[in-house]
Structure 1
């Protein structure tokens, strides 16, 4: 008799179908358990395990219905005298994915792409009926989980589900994401009739008509609200929260499911996931369970119910699950009626297609059990591979696919000991180093580097355990062998701190100084205290003043620039200058006022070094008022040079000594003074001696005056007195006068002459003496530059045809105009300091040829041609100009000459304006209050239109509180024009 259910296996007729029980559902790997009849009890399981098998059912229309799968279990159950009974389990090929587990990294792929890559290795058919777009996952890790669990949790997360389409020789895995467009109706059964048992009067056996005879629908309380949020370090202030509300309409439907972290970095993705999670919750609110004898029933198909007494049930449904109970009785094989020997029963679950269906997230995401180590990787030829956030690439030890390059992982953030807004600690892991990697929330998709460890290839900075006393940091030159280190040496009795660079062996050592070299650590001792040394160049700069002193301050007591002893000695030296100068003036050795000017300068210098006022707050002390360099010692100061020593001061040079001042020179002692040389000794006189050669005293223009209260003595082998016009010798009341006209002698007393002989002969003359002519001092030249300067110091453009005025050291005035490059050369100046004043820039700032001519940045030209402008101001010798960022190089005409040297940005502008002093310094403070370049440009326009007070009004709009009060207080003090002078030196 014909059998209604049969089976096809690689063993052919050796096996016959007897019974099948199993359940098939959306997003589940089914399992069908079969009882088979065999003609032999010796069938080898290896001959069929893993092979495909298909159960074939004959439907009411005569078309076959298939249930296919792979044989995953087979064995002999029992036997009797006539037959052998076997048990078989069929599973889908997807079940094979439960047999393989892996660690694997996927980057920049969507979930459908990842699923295709994972399952593509199995070589079985699959199909994707997906209708929405999917975001790429920057970094997704299969972490110690089976392929099946991995793709299951990804699909569940994205709202993707699957079912199987059974065919004669295969079964196809179908992925879907939309209940309305991813499913086909039942074959030949788009509409299914509802007809219960009591109406059919069923008595058993194969029914004449296939239909649904049991139908039960129920709803359950489900939450209809979902809220999720996430954090993106690249947009730390971004609001990534997403909320979805789809209340089912029953009581208590307002409960909210809150999910963190949301695993989304874009707000649109958050909205998508919020919708998916809400649909997942609501998928279970309305379910239908039923029974049928319709052999076409299969999960993933739709049907429309009809003839149900409740009209709201007569609508389209999606089959979610089908349980099969198929049986071919033994009697059917022994000649009984087929209707009595064949049974097909089906139980099913369904839901209306008006509700979305999403798989329940039942597959947990694996969590790490603690930190791991990994190797830092990057492209070949690089030693450090990082991005703008200091992130790195790593390869985990479990990664057998990565190539140990920049593609081995996503960018991984690196934890540091200190991280702030452009401040903190920076030490990037280098390629080849081993780092400790932890995972945020234990999620393998979110690694973070939390530390570094040494290994046999990456040994510690100093040799251990020999150098265990060293604590610190040691870096390594990129692509080289040199290093830098900060070492804290805790050697017993020899504590030191050392900052060192191998480049030109430059180091600062504090404490018990000893050499610390390479990995060998501490070597020979070199002394105690501190040492700053280098084999290269060195410089010490202190913009507000520098004190170098050997005055003791035990245990760092007192203010850092406390120099009371130094100031006392300087004051004593100044007093010595002042008191001796007064006596010298009385003795007419000094001109009145010369030494007074020096004394005043020394007093001002002492005041500037001492600082003014007392502490005005905690941690505040009197400081240098000017940027002096002060050297001080309670013992002595020595300087030596193998070459020359040059001391220069533009103003005065004063040397004071409480005892002797000794000058010794190997060759000559040369003194040159433009004006005068004055020397005075009060107690023991002045003595000059030339051990060899002559002593020459010459007055090239005026006289030589020798005055002594007692005697003037001259002793020599020969004394010659020569006068061009007259020689007069006067002793008491007697005299002799020698002129070209003759010799006249006279006395009121006795004239006595003694001679061995005496003769009077004719006239004779020795000729006129040839006196030297006074030398002419050379004249100098002063080169002037008045240009606009960028913030980085680059020259932009000269002030064309600008006026200048130079006042030389003798008070002479020289005026002229600059050339097209802002340059002029003034020659014929006396040697000495000169003062330069630049006029305003004569060019129109809005002219296309002007430096300011940037129409997209510069404000509109003022309508009034009579608007007051800022007057001329300081320029400078060299590079005096200023700049205003990319918008303008200075305030209006004159460049730096308008309001001082306006630097790039108003921050620098304020500092430069402050250099002018007085009201100009206050304008600089105001300029520093502007926040943006746009405000700076507006301020420039305001000055051009309304003068300096307009600048205050413009900036005041951006200031509040105390700043506003300060600006208001300054307004009356500002002049209409801001002139100034810039020193130069002609030479």
Structure 2
């Protein structure tokens, strides 16, 4: 408890000091300004001359920078432009009500005295603007102490002072004019604007990735020098990261206005009580309004009103608005999802009618449950991958270069720069958008989480309908309260207008005052209704007509296309001046193709450095896709004037399809560098376009194969102009039929001669198979002949029969040997002209190695040995027979027999002793047993 008491004492002491300093400064300013003759004061550092304000015209509007046009006079007739333009200045509305000012001083002093009393909090409660300090009486003293230390005592003090008509605006001079010059003085005019107005002079095209809307707004503000005291966040919702946000040809002011309006966030301005500067307040609900004192409804009475501030001439205008908002969108990541939703935020309101159908609000899912899409914004991968390839955040960087960091959050939820309570920034290439909200005065335990459906379809429908409802009733009025400003919640006492008992919220203020007349303003407002929150009007996004140039990127200058599992690319936009890591310059972009379907389509992968033209869905700069690729000076076109008749598809590895349309030289080339494999059709040319052939050529340095499961027909016979049918093979079949008829005729003759007959059944079967390729076969036909030639071997092999048939002559030639072998028998049959076997060199041998050798001739048989001997040998017996006479020679002797005479004609006949001559002759043979066994098995070949 001692620790708590010590901290309470320190907190109260601090509070008293701040109250004293602020009250003293406020009273001093009020008294000094009130003592003068002018209601308005314009102060600038280094103002070169005394000035006197003639007139002030103010224009303030919610979600817009404020502007005050100030006309003044000066004895200096030569004020310089550079002394005013872009110079910080402050405009003060001076209170002229000394009685009221004294009353303020008394209230302030009472508050200071109460802080030193036994129960300071009780006294503080007496002042309505100080009721925030009542938190200190809560049950938990530590929580109360925290609330007390976070409470800014100057805010209620400023509220007290503002009740007397005193107000100071801090801004910058944006316009300077010299209106006239007289003998005594010159008349000038300047426009004092909010610092935010300077953002209208900065036009940019930029890309933001993986940041929330709030984070992007903060980054833009910080880029213009804004710090944590120049703006603060008063947000209820926690806004999710967006993959891709584009600023396109719009000022920084227009850009942040559009982003905030899109998500229903408004902004207003207030004066910082401690730092004396203009503060931009960004909020999305009623707690972001500025709470000010009540004001009475009273018609002014000229000089007799004693400076009493009031409102008058209040009017109310109402109109019917839409009863519901219907939204629809399309998310290609979940193409079948139903993203149609409808919301009526005021279902019991019978003053509404109709539906506002809004297409393309650009949301991924319909609600927080992920209905209609993926709740976590993950891509639906049709290729069985669970990776989210659209959100690529590799690092989380904190921006801690400013002690103040971003403005504090004073309402329900903490709001980091990217929607995270820790203020992290998932854009690794940008460290200017994060904030940790050090000035937060109340971080509620029931803060929103990432699953609250913010920026879902139904959420958009709800805030769009809230916008319509909030504009249903519009209130207009007049007032002389100079500190009336947009974004304020005020209560009007004594108003006869129904429905504004809870007060009104100011939308716009236009005021005017001069030296003689008090400042008077016109305002517009809407009823204050927490259940019908104010939402700004959405601002249309800038549309991008046509395409923008970009280049495909990859992390390491990849040789091949750098694409994700859905075939998408990342690109670097030419307009984007930011530095990103290679391959992270954009979200994943789809490539538009002339043909696409489920795992089929038309896709040539784009490689690093390829120029592409990027188009945008509905012109929305946040929804890019690659429309097509382009050639440029670094990537010249492969079809130019020198080959204008060629149509070419060529890949980086020189795989190509070339179609040449030059009349009379038409050709197609399909080629790959591997093995120089090519199919050339038509007019064949070389690389110099010199003709090297006609027709077609299929070639490769590697292996080749031609396969046709149902059959293959090779022919040199075609119909002119490709008029014939594919399997028009009548000429080839006729040849097969002729061959078959020849074979049958010769078979009959051979059979009649008891020679071996041809296997005409196999030939019949082959003709049937090849006719129209009824079965799988190969048929080759050429009208002028077919030649098979090789410097090496050629083999014809079949498991059945081989038939060689010619209508004229069949020649078999060999420079060395011809071998004809048969597993069973060989039949040679010459039907007409005989048979000749000649050997010019070497012997002619005829053997029947295991059977008889039979020779027969119908006429003569002539055996001649021209230069040698004729030897006839028989191992057992030799018999010569002719006309019934015979000579029989055997081991038993020689026997001569005849039915007639034996004539011996010789010079002499000599009888000698017995003699014999034996000649041993052996033929090659196979073992009889093995031979018989193999014969029983019907074997064709018997190994020796």
Is TM-score (shorter-chain normalized) higher than 0.5? yes
Aligned partners of 2:243 and 2:793: how far apart in 1? 68
Q: Which residue of 2 aligns with 1:661?
A: 810
Per-residue CA distance 1:590-618 (angstroms, 9 max, x = gap): 27xxx3xx32222122112113xxxxxxx
Q: Which residue of 2 aligns with 1:171?
A: 278
Q: Which residue of 2 aligns with 1:237?
A: 336
451, 458, 462: which one pairs with 2:635? 458
Q: Which residue of 1 aligns with 2:447?
A: none
Aligned partners of 1:631 and 1:272: how far apart in 2? 74
879, 893, 915: which one pairs with 1:728? 879
Q: Answer with 1 or 2: which has the greater Rg.
A: 2
* DSSP-derived class of the 2:221 partner: helix
Higher strand proportion (structure 1 or 2): 1
Larger deviation: 33-42 or 61-70? 33-42
> Is the 2:507–2:523 Cα contact (8 Å) retained in structure 1?
no
1:143 CA displacement: 1.6
199, 203, 225: which one pairs with 1:97? 199
Structure 1 length-normalised TM: 0.68
Per-residue CA distance 1:899-930 (angstroms, 9 max, x = gap): xxxxxxxxxxxxxxxxxxxxxxxxxxxxxxxx
Q: Which residue of 2 aligns with 1:276?
A: 463
185, 195, 209: which one pairs with 2:291? 185
1:683 CA displacement: 0.9
Query: Does structure 1 residue 349 correspond to structure 2 residue 497?
Result: no
> Is the 1:306–1:315 Cα contact (8 Å) retained in structure 2?
no
Per-residue CA distance 1:373-413 (angstroms, 9 max, x = gap): 44444444324433455544444443333669533444444
Q: How many equivalent residue pairs?
A: 742
1:296 CA displacement: 5.3
776, 788, 805: which one pairs with 1:639? 788
> Is the 1:283–1:355 Cα contact (8 Å) retained in structure 2?
no
1:163 CA displacement: 0.7
Query: Does structure 1 residue 684 correspond to structure 2 residue 833?
Result: yes
Larger deviation: 662-671 or 742-751? 742-751
**Would the alpha carbon gap of residues 552 and 23 (structure 1) be closer, same or farther in structure 2, given more than 3 Å must change?**
closer
> Is the 2:557–2:608 Cα contact (8 Å) retained in structure 1?
no
**Would the alpha carbon gap of residues 360 and 343 (structure 1) be closer, same or farther in structure 2, given more than 3 Å must change?**
closer
Query: Does structure 1 residue 9 correspond to structure 2 residue 108?
Result: no
**Would the alpha carbon gap of residues 474 and 683 (structure 1) be closer, same or farther in structure 2, given more than 3 Å must change?**
same
474, 486, 490: which one pairs with 1:287? 474
Q: Which residue of 2 aligns with 1:844?
A: none
* DSSP-derived class of the 1:511 partner: strand
176, 190, 193: which one pairs with 1:88? 190
**Would the alpha carbon gap of residues 170 and 581 (structure 1) be closer, same or farther in structure 2, given more than 3 Å must change?**
same
Per-residue CA distance 1:759-803 (angstroms, 9 max, x = gap): 242364526543422279999xxxxxxxxxxxxxxxxxxxxxxxx
1:307 CA displacement: 5.6
Aligned partners of 1:452 and 1:47: how far apart in 2? 53
Query: Does structure 1 residue 115 correspond to structure 2 residue 217?
Result: yes
Aligned partners of 2:842 and 2:777: how far apart in 1? 44
351, 355, 360: which one pairs with 1:256? 355
> Is the 1:75–1:88 Cα contact (8 Å) retained in structure 2?
yes
Per-residue CA distance 1:137-181 (angstroms, 9 max, x = gap): 3333222111111121122112111111212521111111122x3
Q: Which residue of 1 aligns with 2:681?
A: 510
- Identify which of structures 1 and 2 has the higher relative contact order when contacts are C-alpha pairs closer than 8 Å and 6+ apart: 2
Query: Does structure 1 residue 573 correspond to structure 2 residue 750?
Result: no
**1:341-740 mapped onto 2 (5 Å cutoff):** 347=523, 349-361=525-537, 363-383=539-559, 384-401=561-578, 405-462=582-639, 464-468=640-644, 470-478=645-653, 482=654, 484-491=656-663, 493-515=664-686, 517=687, 523-590=689-756, 595=758, 598-611=759-772, 624-716=773-865, 717-740=868-891
> Is the 1:153–1:361 Cα contact (8 Å) retained in structure 2?
no
Larger deviation: 628-637 or 408-417? 408-417
* DSSP-derived class of the 1:108 partner: strand
Query: Does structure 1 residue 31 correspond to structure 2 residue 183?
Result: no
1:128 CA displacement: 2.2
Per-residue CA distance 1:56-83 (angstroms, 9 max, x = gap): 4558635444322222234555577877
1:587 CA displacement: 1.8
Aligned partners of 1:33 and 1:20: how far apart in 2? 6
64, 67, 82: which one pairs with 2:169? 67
1:115 CA displacement: 1.4
Gaps in structure 1 of 5+ consecutive residues: 330-340, 612-623, 780-807, 813-828, 833-985
**Would the alpha carbon gap of residues 765 and 49 (structure 1) be closer, same or farther in structure 2, given more than 3 Å must change?**
same
**Would the alpha carbon gap of residues 639 and 79 (structure 1) be closer, same or farther in structure 2, given more than 3 Å must change?**
closer
Structure 2 length-normalised TM: 0.71
**Would the alpha carbon gap of residues 343 and 475 (structure 1) be closer, same or farther in structure 2, given more than 3 Å must change?**
closer
> Is the 1:149–1:363 Cα contact (8 Å) retained in structure 2?
no
Aligned partners of 1:78 and 1:206: how far apart in 2? 35
1:704 CA displacement: 1.8
* DSSP-derived class of the 2:205 partner: strand
**Would the alpha carbon gap of residues 668 and 347 (structure 1) be closer, same or farther in structure 2, given more than 3 Å must change?**
closer
Aligned partners of 1:810 and 1:276: how far apart in 2? 101
1:284 CA displacement: 0.2
Gaps in structure 2 of 5+ consecutive residues: 1-30, 106-159, 162-166, 368-455
